[in-house]
Structure 1
Amino acid sequence: MPRYRAIVEYDGTGYFGFQRQRDDQPTVQSRLEDVLTGLAGGEPVRVTGAGRTDSGVHALGQVICFELTWRHREEDLLRAMNANLPDDIAIKALIECSETFHPRFDARRRAYEYHVYNAAVRSPIRRLRSWHVARSLDVERMNEAAACLIGVHDFATFGQPPQGENSVREVFVAEWRREGEMLVFFIEANAFLYRMVRSIVGSLKLVGEGSWTVADFEEAFRACDRARCGTVAPPHGLYLVSVCYED
């Protein structure tokens, strides 16, 4: 049976994460599978994703794959899926792929962004897509602290690995940029631990507001102790931006 690979964008506000839940709560995976099952004439279709984003987390470039008997063009399948998906989920690109392709295990790099709305007054428009921090944050100091994340390290302070795996990861990029009142943290790594990005952002926020020094952040990081993590940033500011493969 043909296997397809697709890039999915979604607003995670109304979903209990990407992965299907046992109690039938709305998830991105369940919506995708329901649509594909309908296109398959009722034959169940299973979707596999590159990342299991949490409740409220968004994606600009989630990668999925699925098997489907489809007798039309790829672009027709893309249009058919988008015509049946809710407005907060969209298929951005779709191609037929190798039957051995796996979006999670074949991934070589993943990139996330975290958005912080750094203004004295909250923004109702941005409230579900960024973390409002009223206290002024020092981007230069946060970038100084973030620099120690680059390379191969044990990130046990900032997350929990899947069962049977260790907490060592390689981070390629970790930096903040200011876009007016919005601060954007971009991080790219070979893989991420559970809640790793949100834990890093929350701890860097403590540096930016002056509650922690850069040395405090580095000391907590090197301790490899989850109890040393600072604040865990809320999920609604997090975006899965892209997933990269060798091809």
Structure 2
Amino acid sequence: MQVLLARRAVVDVGVAMAGFLASGNWILAATHADGAYFLASIGIGLAVLGNAAASIFNRKPRLTTAADRVTLVRAVLVACCAAATVPALFAGTVPGIPVVALGGAAFVLDAVDGVVARRLACASPAGGRLDVQTDAALVLVLSCAAVPRVGPWVLAIGLMWYAFVAAGWFRPELKRTLPVKRLRKIIGAFQPFALLLALAPGIPVGIGMAAAAFALVALAASFGRDIVELEQWHRQCTGRHSSTELVN
């Protein structure tokens, strides 16, 4: 049974890769990207999708659920969004409607995988990690796309989650799983919304910049609160451990 599930996971990842290569090539051909731009775009898209594939292949046991397949579709959309962003960044222009449409589709679909996981009782920590990684990739891609319009400071939005993960390598206490909080979810969902607003054609630049600035402040406050909670939990555990040693 596990062998069949592992094979199904490989097939799911393979279908996602093929889907990106087909749709990514079509998108880049439609936007007349060629040469180095084309290769760089496909490479970036494969890197985004490869991260999702690695998350699945590192599971024990290796398997994919219905919710994971929805998340893989989102990962394909994010990879296509990244591929469409690269030529515009090389040209120093704001990405057009394709990036907003692809990013918007990935953002809206974020509400689907959770519903599928709950309805089919297939929620898991591994699926949650894949979902979070896909969310982070979308925010990073959109923040890169927004640089020509908003400014390089917007990259802080996309890089903050990765900085938090990197900090966990040096401070293991930051790797602890936090309890689910509605406010954290709202702030997380606002990040791609704000970036899409900043990228949307017809939206005044001032409104887009204000939305992105608010998103950055809210995200920094959210991560700051999480770090404080994790450090407090660590001190409490250390204090209890020290008290137990004294009693013994």
Normalized against structure 1, the TM-score is what? 0.25
TM-score (norm 2): 0.25
Q: Greater relative contact order: 1 or 2 (C-alpha under 8 angstroms, separation 6 or more)?
A: 1
Q: Report the structure, 1 or 2, having the larger strand content.
A: 1
